[in-house]
Amino acid sequence: MTPPGTPSGTPSDKTVTRSTKDLTKAAVSGWLGTAMEFMDFQLYSLAAAIVFNQIFFPDVSPAIGLIAAMATYGVGYVARLAGAIYFGRMGDRLGRRKVLFITVALMGVSTTLIGVLPTYQMVGILAPILLVVLRLVQGFGAGAEIAGATVLLAEYAPVRRRGLVASLVSLGTNSGTLAASALWALLLAVLSEEQLLSWGWRLPFLLSFVLMIFAVWIRTNVKESPVFEARADVVDGVALSRDELSRNDERSRDEAKTATAEPVLQAALKQRKGKAFFLALALRFGQAGNSGLVQTFLVGYVATTLAMDRALATEAIMWGSIIGFATVPLIGMLGDRFGRRSMYTALSLITIALAFPMMLLITSGTTTGLMLGMIAGLNLGVLGLFALESVTMAELFGARTRFTQLALSKEIGGILATAIGPVIAASLTAATGSWWPIAAMLIVYSLITLVAARLAPETRGRDLVRLEDAV
């Protein structure tokens, strides 16, 4: 067996093969599920930034209302952690496919119900309470959605194109962000303030029901991950690969499992735990933190603090997402060509160097400056890093606990960066009366990811059937 620290390897001979048709179904399933997740969350985050402070928190100042709305946005990430733990363990024990079917249904139902909530004027304090409850349900389902889709696509992909195929998860997030931003941009363009606040804000949430039905249907036709099937058997709660269990066909199944347990599990069970997890968590910080600032906080900041047309920020996110359809697969292919570490290093350094110039453009007071700054921030600091994250985190973890560890590292990173970040940014900008804390936070998030990328091993080409982590 290859030593645990070796970053790459030849795929196991016994890995179950899948046809191009199966790969296409898995790709569509992963893309659609993550598109739905990010559409739901972007719908919510934009609503929190644009109208929720008036609909659910009308009796406070605009600044405090924005902070409260950002806090309701953030509580969903607490539920995501619970979902990551629950569904992650289920995915490692029972399979990726079953979990992904449940999570997409939970997300769709809770998002649709947000569209029928009563407002503060109708039922008082009960309105924001119900909003938080649905946000928690939405987050619980979403906690393992993107992790499951990431694992499924990475485990389906041909090894030399793994970065490109896994980047489809990022394209799904981009599609969801684009759809949500386009819906809000349309509403802001055609509806009056009164129409938007009275009934218009409900439409995007109600329309998400259609996407949920399609996503559920697609996932009923997707086969299980070939990597999960290749490591299908368990000894004392630990999965073993079929390759190990098939070495002596004359022995009974139970005898084979007992005889091969110790050699196979030495690398997985005796390996020092935690290093791969903390590296993945740090890699997550740049993308997650930058996403919360660019895609959530700045939308509200532009409208409330800069007093610019609130449609401009949503249009910038929309155009940035369109450009992202080229950025994401390009970064995925470059990761396959030059390695994950090199691309992480380059993108992190560029984001750090451009943090203050981007904020100068955004706060310049011009439409062109705002557009250029937000589009650059979205594609370099968010989508580009996400394209790398999709495959690198899957490669860091062994097959035995890949789903659980990947889900937890994503969601803990989301809580520490994406959820808390907008609240901190709102508080710091209110306290200082300036935009510089936003640029400083972009630098800190990206610097954490840069350090992690330099400490992590190169994972390109690693055999995903191996049970142990890459480090």
365-374: b or e for each residue (b if 16 or more CB lie within 10 Å)?
A: eeeeebbbbb
- Do the domain assignments include residue 412? yes
User: What is the distance between the alpha carbons of residues 96 and 88, in angstroms, rounded to a whole number?
Assistant: 9
Asked whether residue 165 is domain-assigned, the answer is yes
> Is residue 201 one of the residues assigned to a domain?
yes
Helix (H, G, I), strand (E, B) or coil at 240: strand
Residue 5 pLDDT class (50, 70, 90 cuts): very low
Q: What is the predicted pLDDT for the residue at 231?
A: 65
Q: What's the CA gap between 467 and 266, in Å, rounded?
A: 10
Which pLDDT does position 465 carry in this prediction?
A: 86
Q: Looking at residues 432-447, what average pLDDT do you find? A: 94
If pLDDT is split at 50, 70 and 90, which confidence band does 73 have?
Answer: low
Beta partners for 251? none
Q: Average of pLDDT values for 401-411?
A: 90
Q: What does the pLDDT read at residue 422? A: 85
Neighbours of 169 (CB within 10 A): 34
Residue 467 pLDDT > 50, yes or no?
Answer: yes
Report the percent of the chain where pLDDT is more than 70.
Answer: 83
* 187 pLDDT tier (thresholds 50, 70, 90): confident
In a domain, 253, yes or no: no
Residue 186 has pLDDT above 90, yes or no: no
pLDDT of residue 229 exceeding 50: yes
pLDDT of residue 442: 95
pLDDT on residue 68: 62
Domain with 136, as residue range(s), is 20-229+271-455
Q: Which of 115-124, 163-172, 398-407, 442-451 has the largest mean confidence?
A: 442-451
Domain-located, residue 28: yes
The answer to the question of residue 190 being in a domain is yes
Residue 235 predicted with pLDDT over 80: no
Q: Which residue has the higher pLDDT, 16 or 158?
A: 158
Output the pTM of the full model: 0.77
Quick one: pLDDT band at residue 194, thresholds 50, 70, 90? confident
Mean pLDDT of the 388-411 span? 90
In a domain, 259, yes or no: no
- Average pLDDT rounded to a whole number, residues 61-77: 63
Residue 342 lies in a domain: yes
Alpha helix stretches (DSSP H) within 397-468: 402-413, 420-432, 436-455
Band of pLDDT at residue 233, cut at 50, 70 and 90: very low
pLDDT of 240 strictly over 70: no
Q: Calculate the dihedral angle through the C-alpha atoms of 409, 415, 420, 422, rounding to the nearest 10 degrees.
A: 80
Mean pLDDT for the stretch of residues 160-175 = 85
240 strand-pairing partners: 233
Q: Is the pLDDT of residue 201 over 60?
A: yes
The mean pLDDT value of the chain amounts to 81
- What percent of the chain lies above the pLDDT cut of 90? 28
CB atoms within 10 A of CB 433: 7
Structural domain count of the chain: 1
Which CATH number goes with the domain that contains 138? Answer: 1.20.1250.20
How confident is the model at residue 74, as a pLDDT?
64
